[in-house]
Chain A
Amino acid sequence: MTFYCIRGENLSKSYRVLGRNNQKQLYRDLSLAIRPGELVGLFGQSGCGKSTLGDILLGLKKPDRGDVFWNEINISQAGQKKRKELRHFYQKIHQEPGSSFPPQQRIEDALHDIVRLRQPDSDHDSCTNKIASTIQELHLEKELLNRYPDQLSGGEIQRFALARVLLNNPVFLVADEPTSRLDYSVQAKIIRLLMQIAAKNKMGVLLISHDHALLEVACRRIVILDQKHPEM
């Protein structure tokens, strides 16, 4: 039996259009499963529910019908405790990476907080080492750690956002348009890094994008969300 790090089964989602009395159906009976280390693309136009599907898989939004399985555990039936235990293995990076960092805190302190949150008994040096090895993997320089989020370029802060996620040792990551606001040259760098890390850390990735060409390069499997007719 194949092991999936995340699995959505027969997911349906609709929302009410404001001011009118009708429901808009995003998808019906959509099933999706991702293996560890696999990069799956999710393609669709704006407003077709790409980000919502990501949020449903991460348990941030509830589907109308259907189930989500984390490591084959049904999270809608699992207790609060079990969910909390698994929660930080399921991570997300955004289109606006700046929003993952508090503006008045240096990047280094923000990353330290994450490490201590996961390992409360770790001392300062081991935190620093762990951060150093992670950012080295992402080709970031140590000096940048002293800066505040608004002193970094778009590509740098997106890589720090990725570092922040990697410090949680995720098994699954939703990358929601991670490079749509970046230049092609920076985009190429970040997507290549993401591909390497996914393969190395055995991390499943759902890469959401409206750029089909990008997904064709990065992913072996692309899910296309067409309104009403999701096509696999």
Chain B
Amino acid sequence: MSATMLRVSKLSIRSVIKRKQPVRGVSFSVQKGKAFTLVGETGSGKTLVAQAVCGNLSGELTADGKIEYKGVDLVRLSRREKRRLYGKELFLLPQEPDSALDPTMRVISQVAEVFRYVRGYAVKDLHHRLAPIFSDLDLSLSEAGRLYPCQLSGGMKQRILLAISLAVPAGFIVVDEPTKGLDKLSRTSAVHRLSNLLEKGKTLLCITHDLGVARELGGHMAVMYDGCIVESGSVNHVLNSPRHPYTRGLIGAAPENGMIPIDEEVLAAMKQPEKK
């Protein structure tokens, strides 16, 4: 029996300016050493949930409810306590790797910088300590390391961020859309790398619209639509015997399953609570 790493209960996110509630009453829990996948289409609020967990919601948004990480409520954390936690225990792999990399620095210096500050590696050791990490990720330190972020492909940038995530002893990694815009081959290896992280004992909260990613990572999953969780359970259970019509629609819309658009009536029926 594994311990609960993260428990989100009745999380709602409110927008002050637009007077909207893009996330309403979301509850789920993530077990240690397992993956939890949140799936849903654009605008369903899944990225906001990830941002709330990572404490980087934009200023106009406020979170209500509880996000407990190892028993500590993240919503009511002071700035100093946050700094102790984020980056060291909780780590976010963002959707757009560009937003996390400095465009004016060579890749190698960015990775090295994190290793120096977090792990305290000496400058002269850096090269031989980083080389195995890079080769594990199919990158060459002498070639890819010397490039600037704009010279790398999307998949490579993501791998660089993954290398950085290995520097910090983060036990809990939030991954936002790890396969967006990748081709089949790099998608497979990206998912494979995430499974490797699980094998190393890390816990994953994965945000994606790709049901295949959920299937390959295993563990539990939840389907979100319009700010609410419509169905949750173990991955096998949700994908093999979906109960909610929206989940069924989402599975049917995947190209492998005939790519049938979701019935407009199903979507309309689910939008209703917002008007009340």
Contact = CB atoms under 8 A, between A and B. Distances in A.
A147 interface: no
A133 to B, nearest CB: 21
Given A46-B153, A213-B255, A217-B255, A185 B181 contact: no
Given A46-B185, A211-B255, A214-B259, 5 more contacts: A153-B43, A154-B42, A183-B41, A183-B209, A184-B250
Interface size class of B (residues with CB under 8 A): 20 to 34
Interface residues of A, number: 26
The secondary structure that dominates the B interface is loop
Interface in A138-178: 153-155
Contacts of B211: 184
A45 B259 contact: no
B181 A211 contact: no
A223 B102 CA distance: 39
A191 B262 CA distance: 13
Contacts of A192: 259, 261
A192 to B, nearest CB: 6
Contacts of A153: 42-43
Closest 10 CB pairs of A and B: A213-B255, A210-B183, A214-B255, A183-B41, A188-B253, A183-B209, A188-B261, A184-B253, A188-B259, A185-B253
B249 interface: yes
B254 interface: yes
Interface string A174-212: 000000111111111101100000000000000000111
Contacts of B259: 184, 187-188, 191-192, 214, 217-218
Given A155-B42, A191-B259, A181 B184 contact: no
Interface of B: 41-43, 153, 180-181, 183-186, 209-211, 249-250, 253-256, 258-262
A45 B255 contact: no
Given A181-B180, A210-B183, A214-B259, A187 B253 contact: yes
Interface of A: 45-46, 95, 153-155, 180-189, 191-192, 210-214, 216-218
B260 A212 contact: no
Nearest to B260: A188
A186 B41 contact: yes
A44 to B, nearest CB: 9
16 contacts: A45-B183, A45-B185, A46-B183, A155-B42, A184-B210, A184-B253, A184-B254, A185-B253, A187-B259, A188-B253, A188-B262, A191-B259, A213-B255, A214-B255, A216-B255, A218-B259
B258 A217 contact: yes
Contacts of A185: 41, 249-250, 253, 261-262
Contacts of A95: 181
Contacts of A211: 184, 255
A45 B182 CA distance: 10
B249 A210 contact: no
A182 B255 CA distance: 13
Contact of B256 (A154, A186, A191, A213): A213
Contacts of B261: 185, 188-189, 192
